[in-house]
Each structure stands twice: as C-alpha cells, then as structure tokens.
Structure 1
C-alpha cells in the first residue's frame, strides 16, 4: 500500500495533468507494488482536490464491464470513478479538442436515479425501481496517464487507469429518455458513426448481461467507504462498444434507433 503522502502527491500530479493537458508517465512504473486499493485511494484524493477547486460530483461511471476488457486488464470485476460537473457537454454542439489529451469515444446508457441506492445488498430489481429514467449517452475517455509508455510502449496497468478517474473525461447525454420498464434494456442497440461512417455497433446486453447489473455492483462496491448513489445521480453503466479515437474536426453520432441520437463535433 502507498502511504498517504504519496497518494496525495500523485493526485496533485493528475489534477495538474488534466488542467495542462500534459500526460504523465505510468504510476505503476514508478511504484510496481501498486494495488487496486492504491488506485482508488489516489482517485479519492484527486476528487478532494477537485472539490476544493469548486467542482461537484454529478454521478459515477462504471468501466471495464465487458469480459474481454476485464481479461485484458487482468481483473475480474469492473472499475468506477466519479463524474465531475465540468465533464458534461451538450448533445448537438461543438466540444473543444483542447479540453482533452487523446480522447476516445464510447457508447453507453446512463441511469438517472430518482432515489438513492445504498449497499451492500442492492439488487438489479432495486436499481430499476430507483431509476427515474434511462437515456442514451456517449462517454469521452482520455489519458492523463499515458495509455502506452512513451519509451517502451508498454500498456498502462489497471491501477493507473483507476487512478486516472477510470479514464473518464467527458459525458454527452441525449436521445430519448425512457422509463426503465418501457423497453428491454438488454436489447437496446446503437450504431456509432464517425464522420458519417459506422465505426462500432453493439447491444447493451454486452454490459454484464444487463446494464443495470453494473449499477447494483457499484452501489454495493462503494458501501464499505460509507458512500452511496444519490437521488439525481447520473450513472454511466458501461460501454458496449470499443473505444473510437477522435481528432479535431471529427463528428460523432450514436444512433440508438427508437431511443434517438446523441451527436457532437470536436473542434
């Protein structure tokens, strides 16, 4: 375990990296003894810094929800991170490329909670009952910690990703909100277009069999830290497409069929 002074110092580095858009070397190279708990400890210290700077938490994200991603990261469960208020962008508008280092785009569903969920024994049925509505979303992920080391090209470890807000950097909500019992959420599908060309397609069942499963997991996972999901929280349930790289000038559109479209342009 890393000591408090070290986790606080690394959190300050991440805050600076996000502000200056300057990527950091992988923490796991400097501290090969890092654990999952160290990653979350750094993440919590970074949240404190953001809150001290006036930012607020609007919800949470769940990542690494697919079996393939868990195998590649050598873990057996998803990860999570906060959604800060300055990470939200409007659908249909322009998003400054200068807000990011190396952005990539993923397709997800967002759960907007009507009442709180407090673990440790939350079930998928309680998630659905507590959800005010579900809406299409696009997550913009980024790398304040280098995805691949600049010299060795070694990929970052999951401890690095967790430290780095689980790679979260932006959220775009849109489309048509629906009640959680209005559709079979497992069969919600989307086509992701980049500059008019289909890059990815997927079904929400790719997220742990049902996208609400991850929300229940999250409520239970954070309970030991005396944390819970609050009424009004936005919870990104996990991507059901692979990340798609973005560059200035790229236009993205995620077509969710009956649930509408989320679209924006990087400028």
Structure 2
C-alpha cells in the first residue's frame, strides 16, 4: 500500500470511529501541503460511502483572526459532503463529533462550472459565476489529540477541520448586499461570541473563491455548477458543548441557527 493511501486510511478510520487522531507515523505523514492535498483526495474517495457525495468545499484561514489562531498564514481547502449539509434550525448530536465547533460564514452556490482551463481566476470572474449566497454556519471538528502540534500538511489531509455546514435561506446574487459591509455575529446561547465583516475574508469573499478555483485548477480540477463553497470564517472558531444553541446573524443576508444536543 502506498504512503498516500495508508495515510488516507488512517485518517478515515479515525473519523469513522470518532477517535482523536494523534500525529501520523513519520513514514506516512505528509511532508508538505501538496502531499497533504494528495492524501485529502484519497481520503475523499474513502469517505464517499459514509459521508455521501461531495457537494462542495470549505476554505479555511481566510481571515486574519483565523490565520493568527491557527498560525497558518494562507488559505487551506477541504471537502463538504452531502450528509454534513443541514438546513437552518437543525438539531445535531454533539456526540457525533470529537469536539464540535462553529464558524460564521458567507457561503456561495455556483451557477456555472469554473474549469481549470479557464484559470487564472479573478474575484470579478468568479463573482459572476455565483448563483446565490447563504448565511452559513460551518461545523468544524477538533478531531485531534492536540491540533496545535499536527502541522498544516496533516490538517489539510484531514479536510482542515471540516465537518459540515448549516445553511440559511438563499439570497440571489442580484439581490445580495455589498459583502464587504455584511457584519457577521456569532451568538451562542444568546451571548455574542464574536463578530466580523465580509471584508475580513481575504479582503472580499470572492477573493477566497478565486483562490480555491485557482488552487483546484493547479491540480487539474474545477468547481462545478450547483456546488456549495464556504468562503471562510468572519469570527474566531467557537468551541461548543452539548446543549449549546447557535445563531449566526449576517446583516443583509439573514440568520442561520443550529442546536447541539
């Protein structure tokens, strides 16, 4: 079994069993982020029977607050799977996660494909490929014995904390507010736990989407019509416990809610 598949199987087993992942053995741990993404692609194939079809991507580390928190100075991508996507108002079991957390995000749904042959992509180009925006909660899972020591390549290999999302009502692109001025508030059990604006996401969420499209194009892959992309958190991750209720308020886009039981 080759190193890439061995690492992917180790991560997939930990995820299915909800076992905190320790550092991968040195002989299979990714040496750099490029190798991390190769493991991630192999992992996605292993997760499909368990997690459902891959329906989009999440982009992590797109804001200064998250780059400081994770000590990673650039964006990272991960997969979003069908069984992890929920409608606002969902009630989810905290026990389905190792250590569940939430982030406040602007999500997009694509109206058209963004093919690798069309690269390089700009923010303006990808903006015109968007069908709708959503107020979104990214669900993240600290699946690690100690994430601070895992290193970016292994975090990338394991979808960069991705564990799904909760989507509010869609807002058509032509009716959306200026994303730079959208203020997001994370409210946990009625108490504000963080706030940020669309401008905090790489200067504009469309910049994050362009980064993802270019990142995938460099691997010969594209984005596709109907896919959902979570563009990155406006606030620092909030870690939760069973019994917590979450509302993300994105002014001009709407609210989105989830409760963990």
Query: Fold-level match, TM-score > 0.5?
Result: yes
Distance 1:54 1:205 in 2: 32
C-alpha displacement at 1:131, in angstroms? 0.4
Verify the 8 A CA contact 1:131 1:180 in the aligned structure 2.
no
1:232 correspondence with 2:226: yes
Partner of 2:199: 205
Partner of 1:129: 128
Q: Deviations over 1:153-200 (max 9, x none)?
A: x53211121011111002000045241563211111111111111111
For structure 1, which segment, 59-68 or 78-87, has the greater mean C-alpha deviation from structure 2 after superposition?
59-68
> Matched residue of 1:27: which SS?
coil
Verify the 8 A CA contact 2:105 2:231 in the aligned structure 1.
yes
1:189 correspondence with 2:183: yes
1:172 correspondence with 2:166: yes
> Matched residue of 2:243: which SS?
coil
C-alpha displacement at 1:137, in angstroms? 0.3
C-alpha displacement at 1:7, in angstroms? 1.7
Verify the 8 A CA contact 2:3 2:27 in the aligned structure 1.
no
For structure 1, which segment, 70-79 or 207-216, has the greater mean C-alpha deviation from structure 2 after superposition?
70-79
Partner of 2:81: 84
C-alpha displacement at 1:75, in angstroms? 4.6
Verify the 8 A CA contact 1:91 1:263 in the aligned structure 2.
yes
Report the count of equivalent residues: 259
Distance 1:207 1:63 in 2: 10
Partner of 1:100: 97
For structure 1, which segment, 199-208 or 250-259, has the greater mean C-alpha deviation from structure 2 after superposition?
250-259
> Matched residue of 2:134: which SS?
strand
Verify the 8 A CA contact 2:90 2:166 in the aligned structure 1.
no
Give the TM-score, by structure 2 length: 0.91
1:59 correspondence with 2:60: no
Q: Deviations over 1:69-108 (max 9, x none)?
A: 4456555431101111111122112111122101111000
Give structure 2 stretches of 5+ with no counterpart.
none
For structure 1, which segment, 249-258 or 100-109, has the greater mean C-alpha deviation from structure 2 after superposition?
249-258
Distance 2:239 2:122 in 1: 35
What is the alpha-carbon root mean square deviation over aligned residues? Answer: 2.1
Verify the 8 A CA contact 1:28 1:159 in the aligned structure 2.
no
> Matched residue of 1:237: which SS?
strand
CA 1:236–1:30 in 2, change beyond 3 Å: closer, same or farther?
A: same
For structure 1, which segment, 85-94 or 225-234, has the greater mean C-alpha deviation from structure 2 after superposition?
85-94
CA 1:24–1:93 in 2, change beyond 3 Å: closer, same or farther?
A: same
Verify the 8 A CA contact 2:110 2:227 in the aligned structure 1.
yes
Distance 1:146 1:32 in 2: 15
Verify the 8 A CA contact 1:55 1:85 in the aligned structure 2.
yes
Give structure 1 stretches of 5+ with no counterpart.
149-153
Q: Deviations over 1:97-152 (max 9, x none)?
A: 1221011110000010000112421111111111001111000111333334xxxx
1:23 correspondence with 2:20: yes
Distance 2:259 2:59 in 1: 24
Verify the 8 A CA contact 2:101 2:140 in the aligned structure 1.
yes
Distance 2:253 2:74 in 1: 29
